[in-house]
Chain A
Amino acid sequence: MSLLEVAGDSRSFGGNRAVDDVSFEMSVEALAIVGPNGAGKTTLLNLVAGLLHPSRGSIRFRGREISRLPPWRVARLGMVKTYQVVRPFRSLTVEENLALFSRLRGGSALDGILDATGLTPYRHHLSGELPFGLLKRLELAKGLSTHPELLLLDEPIGGLSRGEAEGLLATLSALKARGVRMIIVEHRLSEILTVVDRVLALDRGRMIFHGSQSEFFRDPAVRTAYLGSDNA
């Protein structure tokens, strides 16, 4: 049984179909969802996380239908999303940000998460006073503090400098090696492909590719979406 099964999911906003009949199964440890701006990547992630409900289709997590569940119930089942635009609890310290979720799903060792994400020296700092790079790490740490079975990361390295991004990617690779499974939505293709096993590409809401990295760059539909029809 796959960890996650998305079958024929669609979601429209008015006349705009942001996600159009997307189906895939997640059985690998790390999957990247890529695509140009407006392709529907974040909408698809929000559908999976329960932040949006699909207009059509189903989503099953560990065999259970979850497409109509509220986000807090999806998270308690073990699937947690982090945000592209960081959303720390600004009046709380870094440690308190993680302690909020530590009682869910049996709890996680906060020290281990702080170590894994490089936040131990900042544990007593107010999160509202942290620089952007550390807030991105805190966003990841918050996700880990719920002890998820599947982590949904929305542009985890978006807005980071090259050095900061490399550091965070190394953290993601280490987490993956420890068995943390993840779906990553990301614009920075070449960097994120160092972490993931498979790639799912979207274009204007439709899935145009789902396969391995090596196949990804050879796929004509992907080349057209990224480079235009003249260069494909």
Chain B
Amino acid sequence: MKPPERRARPAAPRWLTRLVSPYYIAALAVIVVFVLWSAGAPTSYFALSLVFASIYITLALAWDFSSGLSGYLNFGLPFFFGLGAFTAGYFAWGGQRYVPFLLFVALGVGAVGGFLFSFPTLRLRGPYFSLLSLLLPLIAVDFVLAFWTQLHMPTEGYYDLPFLAVTPWGELIILSVANAVLLTVFLVLRNSHFGLILRGIRDDEDALSSQGIRTFPYKVLAFTIASGVAGFSGATYALTVTFAGLDTFEFTFILFPILIVILGGTGEIVGSVFAGYIVILLYQYLFQALSEVTLIFFTGAAILLVLFLPGGILRPIRSFVRFMRTPEAP
């Protein structure tokens, strides 16, 4: 008797086959390992350092997705970060202390703010856009200083906000899940036609335009998404330190994400996870020994990194794998 024919297994969707790479799995594994590692001492300095590393990883993922892929350098990330923090503070002081609501509304306000900023400014080409974005956090600080009483703030910011979670370990779990989801979403988008166009914009926007692609809506959408994520990240920060103040507009909230993206590889997305833990943990522990000098050390490290490893830590590995896999052309 003839054996029954085996039904062919349906092929996995393309986005899934592109997403599930060894790099992606390794990044998820690193996130899980750090969560489990800190489980033994859920309120330790290590757990708290991982919380801050996770917040910066969220910011780095957002920056890499928009600026890293498109080449439009947005130095205004702290503005959207602070906007999210102040939004969470505003609603918490208004009586809405339900944490998921605060995170969601911060994400929405960040996205709306990103859209309102990028719609007029992304008509400008790269350097002009970057210069304008640089002004945003400065304007925000002046705005808060001038109008904090009208904004019903108890001081130049909002204090006594609800905790993101009861312990740093709980906060780490929330942030790690968020980063895993964001990593997945951004990688799917990077590998999609949308991501392809963003990478094309970085390489040669004029050539893209002259062949029929209107780049403007893609840029605006990318920056709106990234700003929303930055707003979300700002809210997680405010709810971690239970204070939304002017420090959320500080330059460190763009310096570290950029440093993380450079180390992870610009436009790689997944590299930000590895680099985020390296940079922030190193900073947290060096800071105990070197205090304020640490920032000078990091700035020097950034210069050396750009000079000697411009593609980040993942690019050489990717190039080697590609070299080994690519068939010899005639």
CA distance A146 to B330 in the complex (A): 27
In the assembled complex, B199 has its CB within 8 A of some CB on chain A? yes
CA distance A124 to B328 in the complex (A): 11
CA distance A180 to B326 in the complex (A): 32
Residues from chain B with a CB closer than 8 A to the CB of A226 are none
Would you give 26 A-B contacts (Cβ < 8 Å), ordered by A? A49-B210, A70-B209, A71-B209, A72-B209, A72-B210, A73-B214, A75-B211, A80-B212, A83-B207, A89-B199, A89-B200, A89-B207, A89-B208, A91-B203, A92-B196, A99-B196, A100-B200, A100-B208, A100-B213, A103-B193, A104-B211, A104-B212, A121-B330, A122-B329, A124-B327, A142-B211
CA distance A96 to B208 in the complex (A): 13
CA distance A92 to B322 in the complex (A): 13
A75–B203 CB distance below 8 A: no
Residues from chain A with a CB closer than 8 A to the CB of B212 are 72, 75-76, 80, 101, 104-105, 146
Out of A70, A89, A105, name the residue touching B203 (CB < 8 Å). Answer: A89
Query: Which residues of A line the B interface, CB within 8 A?
Result: 49-51, 70-73, 75-76, 80-81, 83, 87-92, 96, 99-101, 103-105, 121-122, 124-126, 142-143, 146
Which single residue of chain A is at the shortest CB-CB distance from B325?
Answer: A124
Which single residue of chain B is at the shortest CB-CB distance from A86?
Answer: B207
CA distance A184 to B32 in the complex (A): 58
In the assembled complex, B204 has its CB within 8 A of some CB on chain A? yes
Residues from chain B with a CB closer than 8 A to the CB of A51 are 210
In order of increasing CB-CB distance, the 8 nearest A-B pairs are: A75-B212, A89-B203, A87-B207, A71-B210, A121-B329, A104-B212, A72-B214, A76-B212
Measured CB to CB, the closest approach of chain B to A84, in angstroms, equals 12
CA distance A110 to B90 in the complex (A): 53
A96–B196 CB distance below 8 A: yes
CA distance A99 to B208 in the complex (A): 12
Interface residues on B, range: 20 to 34
Residues from chain B with a CB closer than 8 A to the CB of A75 are 210-212
Interface residues of B in 197-227 (CB under 8 A from A): 197, 199-200, 202-204, 206-215
Measured CB to CB, the closest approach of chain A to B140, in angstroms, equals 34
Residues from chain B with a CB closer than 8 A to the CB of A100 are 193, 196-197, 200, 208, 211, 213
A104–B196 CB distance below 8 A: no
A125–B326 CB distance below 8 A: yes
In the assembled complex, B267 has its CB within 8 A of some CB on chain A? yes
B213–A72 CB distance below 8 A: yes
Interface residues of B in 90-114 (CB under 8 A from A): none
Residues from chain B with a CB closer than 8 A to the CB of A70 are 209, 214
